[in-house]
Amino acid sequence: MKRGDFLEVEISDVDHKGDGVGKIRDIECVVRRGLPGDIIEGRIVKKRRKRIELEIVRIISCRIKRIAKHCIHFGVCGGCRWQYISYKDQLKVKELMVHKALVRKNLSPKNIEPILPSLDTFYYRNKMEFSFAAGLDGEIQLGLHMRGRYNRIFNIEKCYLQSAGSNLLVDAFRTGAKLYELEPYNLKTHEGLLRFLVVRETKASGQLMVNLVVAEYPNLLVDKLINYVCERVPYLSDVLVSKHSGKAQVALGEKLYVLRGNGYIEESCGDYKLKISPQSFYQTNSRQAERLYTIIRNWVGKEVGSILDLYSGTGSISLYLASSAKQVIGIEQIKSATIDAMWNAEKNTVCNCKFVSASVEDFLINLTDTNFDLVIIDPPRPGVQPKVLRRLSEIRPPRIIYVSCNVKTLVEDLAEIVTYGYEIERLQPVDMFPQTPHCEIICELKKFG
C-alpha cells in the first residue's frame, strides 16, 4: 500500500476526532468523513506504520444517511465536521463513541444515561476565536483554521456556530484591516501586527465583547480600526485590546487594555449571574450549561458537607452546589477566572464558597486537611495531570464527579481512578457541541466500602 492507492474499506467505528475507522488485515484505516456502517472506496492520503488515512472517493453503501450541508465552508473548515448528518444521527454516533471508549478500557459503569440533546443545534456558541493571516495573494484574511493546518487560515463569510452579530464583527474587522492596510502577524518572520480576534457574547442579554490580540499596542492604526468597527457595530458593548509580543501562537497577551465597557460580560445561568472576563473559562454552550450544572447538582444531593471543586473556572459549578454543601472550595490556576469566581459569589450572595488561585497540582501537594466528602473534577481537554491523580489516590474522597469534554482522556483517567478502589456509579453524556464529534460527559465514582 502506498499514497494514491485505492482501497475498499468497511467502517466499524469512529475515533475521538470523529473520523471513521476500519481495518484491512492488521492495518488501521482512518477514513475522513466516514461513519459506522459505511463501505467506501477511498484513496490513501497518508501512510504510517500499521495506519493509513483515506479520503472517500465513493460510498458503496451506508447505514447513516448524508444530508445537505448548511455551511459553504464545510470540508475546508476544521469545525463542524458532522454537519453532513442529521442531529438525531449525530447523537447516536456520540453515544457509540462513548460506549466503545469505555469498552476499550474495560470500564463498566453501573448505569449509563441516554445522551442529553442540545437545546440549540446552530448558533449555540458564546465564544469564537478567529485568526489573522495573509492569503496566498498577500491579502489579509480573518477566519478559522483549515482542517489539519495550523498555519493556514481561510476567510470566513458566515459561521453558523455563534451569531449573526459575530459574523458582522468579523466582516467589519477584516474590511477595516484592509482599509488601513494593517499587516497580519507572520509565524515565520514574527513580524506584523494583527494576531487574533476573540468574540464572546451572552445568550440571555446579547452582550458582545471583543478582544483584539495584537503584537504592538498602543498603536494609532489599531485605534482607527477599533473606531471603524464600533461605528459599524454600535451595539458592541465591550472592546479590549491584548498586547502579545511573544512568539507563542495563543490568543493571550501580557497586557490588556479596556477601550469600551467594563472589560467583562455577565451571563445568566439559572438563578445566577456570572461575570466572564476575556481569559476566563466558561462552557461555550450557555443554554446547555445550565442543564449540565443541574444534572450535577441533582447527583450531588443535599447536605453533602465539604466539596472540593478542581479546575473551577469562574465558579459556576461551585455556585450551583453551594446550597447542597456546608462549604465549597474552588481551585483555578487562571487568576482572572478566580477573581471572577469571587465576584460571582459576592454578586449572588453565596457565602460558603471559597476560591483559591493556584495550579491544582500545587494546591493538592500542599493540602493538609483532606477531609472532603466530594471532589469535583472538570479539567481541560488534555485531562488530569498524573500527579493530581496520584494525590487523589491518597486523599480518597467518598465520591468523585468527573466532568469531561474529551472521551479519550476521560476513559484513560477513569481507568486509573478505579484502581484506587472506586467504581463508576453512573455516566451521562450531555451534548454541548452539535455538528462536531465532541460532547460533555458527567461521571460519578464511589469509593468501595
The residues annotated as belonging to the active site are: 405
**Residue 400, C-alpha cell as written in the block:** 468523585
| Amino acid sitting at position 104 | R
Contact yes or no for 273/295 (Cβ under 8 A)? no
Distance CA 307, CA 352 (A): 11
Distance of alpha carbon 91 from its chain centroid, rounded?
Answer: 18
Query: Where do we find the cell 453515544?
Result: 95
Angle made by CA atoms 72, 93, 312, in degrees to the nearest 5: 90
- Give the separation between CA 337 and CA 6, rounded to whole angstroms: 51
C-beta separation of 340 from 355 below 8 A:
no
Strand 327-332, strand 353-357: pairing: parallel
Half-sphere exposure of 298 (CA within 13 A, CB side): 9
The three-state DSSP-derived secondary structure of the chain is: CCCCCEEEEEEEEECCCCCEEEEECCEEEEEECCCCCCEEEEEEEEEECCEEEEEEEEEEECCCCECCCCCCCCCCECCCCCCCECHHHHHHHHHHHHHHHHHHCCCCCCEECCCECCCCCCCCECEEEEEEEECCCCCEEEEEEECCCCCCEEECCCCCCCCHHHHHHHHHHHHHHHHCCCCECCCCCCCCCEEEEEEEECCCCCCEEEEEEECCCCCHHHHHHHHHHHHHCCCCCEEEEEECCCCCCCCCCCEEEEEECCCCEEEEECCEEEEECCCCCCCCEHHHHHHHHHHHHHHHCCCCCEEEEECCCCCHHHHHHHHHCCEEEEEECCHHHHHHHHHHHHHCCCCCEEEEECCHHHHHHHCCCCCCCEEEECCCCCCCCHHHHHHHHHHCCCEEEEEECCHHHHHHHHHHHHHHCEEEEEEEEECCCCCCCCCEEEEEEEECC
